[in-house]
Chains A and B, each alone.
Chain A
Amino acid sequence: MLDAQRILKTATKVKLDDIKSGKVLSVHDKPNLKYAWDNGVAIGRYLAELKNGRIIGKRCNSCKRVLVPPRMFCELCWRPTDDWEFVQDTGTILTCVVSHVNWDASRVKKGQRYHTPAVIELDGAGKDQEAMLHIDEIEPYDIKIGMRVKAVWKEPEERIGAITDIKYFKVIG
């Protein structure tokens, strides 16, 4: 049996205001770390092709999937992947969200658009090959599972070889 009285003595509740006002003392720190992550061979090519306005994957001849994002080995078959293969920049929404919160749990400000990430099954990539991307040009709460979508790319001169070279996906039916 848990001893309820003892449990109450194990921790002391403090309020956020007491931390902020200094009534409860705390040390503040903000690590400022910088990293440079190598893209590797597969993702390097993927990013280069995004800069060209195309989505490329890599086929695994064993499980017949076209892996997007591409990888040098198939994690299911545990073997090297085979040919590079372009997939289309159209697809189908498998699941979607209307987010009122930002990445740090702060709230989307009034007048700003809610975040609308979706998991999209890309045409030509085969089943179970999806990417998380944003949907736009539609009211957030009008986005439905099953809608057909197409990528809207940044202008060629604006592209830098990043996932954000795709501005968003728009609904095409």
Chain B
Amino acid sequence: MGLRRVAIVGAGITKFYRYTQETPKELAYEAAKMALDSCEMTLNDIDCVSLGTAPDAFDGIHMNGEYLVDGAGAYRKPYMRHYVGGGTGVLSPIHGWFHVASGMFDTCLVVAEEKMSSAFPHPAGAFLTIFDHTTEQPLYPTLIWIFAIEMHRFMHKHGYTKEEIAQVAVKNKRNALDHPSAQLGAEITVEDVLNSEVMAYPVNRLDISPTSDGAAAIVLASEEVARRVTEKPIWIDGIGYCLDTAYWCNRDLYYPDYVEVAARQAYEMAGIKEPSKEIHVAEPYDPFTYKELHHIEGLQLCKRGDSVKMLLDGVTQRDGNLPCCPSGGALGVGNPIAATGLMKIIEIFLQLREEAGPRQVPGKPTCGVAQAWGDLMQVGTVVVMRS
């Protein structure tokens, strides 16, 4: 295709909290500076900037991309903002990849930020206006409802139980105990999940990722630059993304076809024929417990209807055959929307470099996948990485 190879050469991430004192710009700056420092680069080495931040309604700053230009280090540089809800954090590195793979730029700083705590009384209210203003908003839907609607359909179709799905929260919150950015790392039990407050049956409070403030950043480089700045470049070998229609009721919600479409794009590009064997570590998007399983199926990491068996057999544990969310995921590390997807990219980067410390999965993984999801049950964003 005439495209250049692109590597991730540096990464930075802030601590995630429910409420931070820092402004969105300050959070973006901290993550971006850390990413540059990690590969001993400065802003002078950066040719362009790719920014991800999700709904303006969270930060409460209209055209948040323009506001964040300073924190993202994009002053007088080619700059592009991406926004596909929760899928944003994996879309921004995909667009950064385009910038470098095309030959247009040698380096790209990718920054993702979200400060959800500015919205009162609760940022969940900001989601009302994502629904159709005429046919849906008059019913006062919430994002929690439509997740519960999807989870119930998923459970019904496959015969999964709440007890089984709760194991995802137990796993991810435990994994998050080892992540320095984590907001909600904890040792919990299935009973804790089932006994937590019912939000919208079948979703309990501990089935949901928290509201968070935070930022993350990576540095992308062409092969020539990457070989110069690091001995351990991690290559982006496959990218895929797509949106399904906004008529979210008009598809059977038990299966995310759009994730499959995105995953197949990425796998074809990376030359992956059997994802469940060739991929060694995965970071599927887990804003809700069932979502990790839903996405594992969409990512073709198991057959449809087999994700719970994988979970119960321990396959997705950090020491299992196909660790999923070794970071602790959105459920454990936290979910500052756009920053979460990039946190997942960073986790695969660290795992493939064998620099994940206490979170390191065994067996010297050489191929990993990160995925995010968003908008109205309609976005799949997928990146395949290799060492």
Contacts and interface: CB of A to CB of B under 8 A. Distances in A.
Given A10-B30, A11-B17, A97-B148, A105 B124 contact: yes
A24 B21 CA distance: 8
B102 interface: no
Contact of B21 (A12, A46, A76): A12
A37 B253 CA distance: 28
Contacts of A8: 15, 180
B250 A129 contact: yes
B134 A128 contact: no
Interface in B91-149: 121-122, 124-125, 128, 133-136, 138-142, 144-146, 148-149
A95 interface: yes
Contacts, number: 173
Given A10-B30, A11-B22, A47 B134 contact: yes
B19 A14 contact: yes
A13 interface: yes
Nearest to B22: A11
Contacts of A29: 60
Interface string A155-171: 00000001110000000
Contacts of B17: 11-14
A78 to B, nearest CB: 11
A104 B144 contact: no
Given A29-B60, A104-B121, A105-B125, A96 B21 contact: no
A75 B246 CA distance: 10
B43 interface: no
Contacts of A145: 152-153, 156
Residue from the set A8, A46, A75, A132 with the largest chain B CB neighbour count within 10 Å: A132
A130 B125 contact: no
Given A47-B134, A132-B139, A99 B30 contact: no
A103 B251 CA distance: 23
Contacts of A138: none
A13 to B, nearest CB: 5
Contact of A97 (B15, B200, B355): B200
Given A14-B21, A19-B19, A39-B134, A131 B249 contact: yes
B156 A95 contact: yes
Contact of B135 (A7, A69, A75): A69
Contacts of B133: 35, 37
Contacts of A129: 250
Contacts of A37: 133-134
A132 to B, nearest CB: 5
A105 B19 contact: no
Interface in A86-142: 94-106, 115, 117-119, 128-134, 141
Given A12-B22, A119-B249, A129-B250, A100 B14 contact: no
Interface string B10-47: 01011111111110000100110010000000000000
Contacts of B251: 128
A2 B19 CA distance: 22
A95 B128 CA distance: 20
Nearest to B245: A75
B229 interface: no
Contacts of A19: 19
A100 B198 contact: yes
B132 to A, nearest CB: 8
B247 interface: yes
B194 interface: no
A131 B356 CA distance: 45
A100 to B, nearest CB: 5
A16 B27 CA distance: 19
A41 interface: no
B237 interface: no
A147 interface: no
B20 A14 contact: yes
B286 to A, nearest CB: 20
Given A11-B14, A11-B30, A102-B142, A95 B200 contact: no
Interface of A: 1-4, 6-8, 10-16, 19, 24, 29, 35, 37, 39, 43, 46-47, 69, 75-76, 94-106, 115, 117-119, 128-134, 141, 145, 162-164
Given A1-B356, A13-B19, A16-B18, 6 more contacts: A7-B181, A10-B22, A13-B18, A97-B202, A101-B142, A104-B128
* Nearest 7 pairs of A and B residues by beta carbon: A4-B180, A104-B125, A99-B200, A105-B122, A95-B153, A10-B14, A105-B124
13 contacts: A2-B11, A7-B34, A8-B15, A14-B19, A98-B198, A104-B121, A105-B142, A105-B144, A115-B140, A118-B149, A119-B253, A132-B149, A163-B138
